[in-house]
Amino acid sequence: MAENDTYQTPLASRYASKEMKTIFSARTRSTTWRKLWIWLAEAEKELGIDISDEAIAQMKANVVMTDNCFKVAADEEKKRRHDVMAHVYAFGQVAPAAAGIIHLGATSCYCTDNGDLISIRDALDLILPKLATVIHKLSQFALEYKDMPTLGYTHYQPAQLITVGRRAAQWVQDLLMDLEDIERTRNDLRFRGAQGTTGTQASFMEVFHNDRAKIDKLNEIICAKAGFPSCYPISTQTYSRKVDLRVANALSSLGTTVQRITGDIRHLAAQKEMEEPFEKDQIGSSAMAYKRNPMRCERIASLGRHLANLNKNAGDTYAQQWFERTLDDSAIRRITIQRCS
């Protein structure tokens, strides 16, 4: 079916950056799972499990998920009704020497949860410098116009004189709060690691014959390979969905801030105090060509409104998790995590 004959999410087709779409692409997600399996096998081999060099070499040679592997995995998932095991099978087809040790001791969440944490971290690492650039440029604007008088408003009624720079400085301060919250959330991220079925490491206790020190070392090695300082001290079958809520809250707060800022700019545009750039061939209105609509701010406000409300999904998902895990988090997380970023 041609691209224009099937639904495409506007978030991806119109608004998301190429870099962000790559982070959350099916190929990146599946390739990350393969990296996780390689790291697990390397760590297990280092700790004495009988895994051949050829097995690891074949895995590394086929780490990138190909289109053919996607087809193999899709066909297998139709039979097994299990996406992770379908991908284990597809990986084993191209790395036959490793087929018996791929995913050894692990659960599905070893791939899915650790993979999501990597994606979230990488997405926040993409957002933070972009937000810092916005703050820097807006700070320069505030300094440039720090002495230009303008009318201040309270209750949206004329009040007292302020300056253009003073108003912009307020925007900068609010964005700095968001930057600090997002950076703190990013730096607080930890890995789930290899925790077994319900977080007890029972399956790895079998693999390592009840040697808990080796399991601790296993997680230390995997964390280092993935670029995380450590694992969360306690995980169930999943990492706590409170983590997703913290990320969503930080990003939702940014959504409210950009609505606030663009709302001011849109009002100022109506009063002809501030305008967006207007390109040479841009059309302001199909019926009123003279108009200079603040379409960039309107777009930002619209996306900010969507972003500001996504933490509700994350909060409900966290609240609805029963005991050590339920799968009703799966579909909503596949949608919400990407849209928050």
Q: Look at residue 215 and tell me if it is in a domain.
A: no
What Cα–Cα distance (Å) separates residue 185 from each residue in 164, 180, 193, 245? 32, 8, 19, 10
Q: Look at residue 139 and tell me if it is in a domain.
A: yes
Answer for the pair 201, 194: CB distance below 8 angstroms, yes or no.
Answer: yes
Q: How far apart are CA 317 and CA 313, in angstroms?
A: 6
Q: How far apart are CA 203 and CA 195, in angstroms?
A: 8
What's the pLDDT score for residue 141? Answer: 98
Q: Look at residue 288 and tell me if it is in a domain.
A: yes
- Give the range among 6-15, 121-130, 217-226 with minimum mean pLDDT: 6-15
Q: How far apart are CA 179 and CA 316, in angstroms?
A: 25
pLDDT over 90 at 4, yes or no:
no
Q: How far apart are CA 336 and CA 326, in angstroms?
A: 17
Q: What phi and psi, each to the nearest 5 degrees, are found at residue 191?
A: -95, 150
Q: Look at residue 47 and tell me if it is in a domain.
A: no
Among candidate residues 246, 248, 245, 232, the one with its CA nearest the CA of residue 320: 245
pLDDT in tens, 247-271: 999 999 999 999 999 999 999 999 9
CA atoms within 13 A on the CB side of 332: 18
Answer for the pair 181, 247: CB distance below 8 angstroms, yes or no.
Answer: no
Answer for the pair 330, 244: CB distance below 8 angstroms, yes or no.
Answer: no
Q: Look at residue 163 and tell me if it is in a domain.
A: yes
Q: What phi and psi, each to the nearest 5 degrees, are found at residue 150?
A: -155, 160
Q: Is residue 288 very low, low, confident or very high in pLDDT (cuts 50, 70, 90)? A: confident
pLDDT over 70 at 1, yes or no:
no
Among candidate residues 291, 310, 298, the one with its CA nearest the CA of residue 261: 298
Arithmetic mean of pLDDT, 149-155: 97
The pair of three-digit structure tokens given for residue 311, joined into one six-digit string:
């933490």
Total number of domains in the chain: 1
What's the pLDDT score for residue 339? Answer: 82
pLDDT over 80 at 297, yes or no:
yes
Q: What is the CATH number of the domain that holds 158?
A: 1.20.200.10
Q: How far apart are CA 127 and CA 181, in angstroms?
A: 12
Is the Cα dihedral 208, 209, 212, 213 positive or negative? negative
Q: Which active-site residues does the annotation give?
A: 155, 285
pLDDT over 90 at 283, yes or no:
no
Residues 6+ apart with CB under 8 A from 272: none
Q: Look at residue 151 and tell me if it is in a domain.
A: yes
pLDDT in tens, 67-92: 999 999 999 999 999 999 999 999 99
Q: Look at residue 297 and tell me if it is in a domain.
A: yes
Helix (H) or strand (E) holding 163: strand 157-163
Q: Look at residue 133 and tell me if it is in a domain.
A: yes
Q: Is residue 281 very low, low, confident or very high in pLDDT (cuts 50, 70, 90)? A: confident
**Residue 253 sits in which domain range?**
107-196+238-340
Residues 6+ apart with CB under 8 A from 82: 108
pLDDT over 90 at 277, yes or no:
no
Q: How far apart are CA 314 and CA 336, in angstroms?
A: 7
Arithmetic mean of pLDDT, 200-219: 96
Q: Is residue 208 very low, low, confident or very high in pLDDT (cuts 50, 70, 90)? A: very high
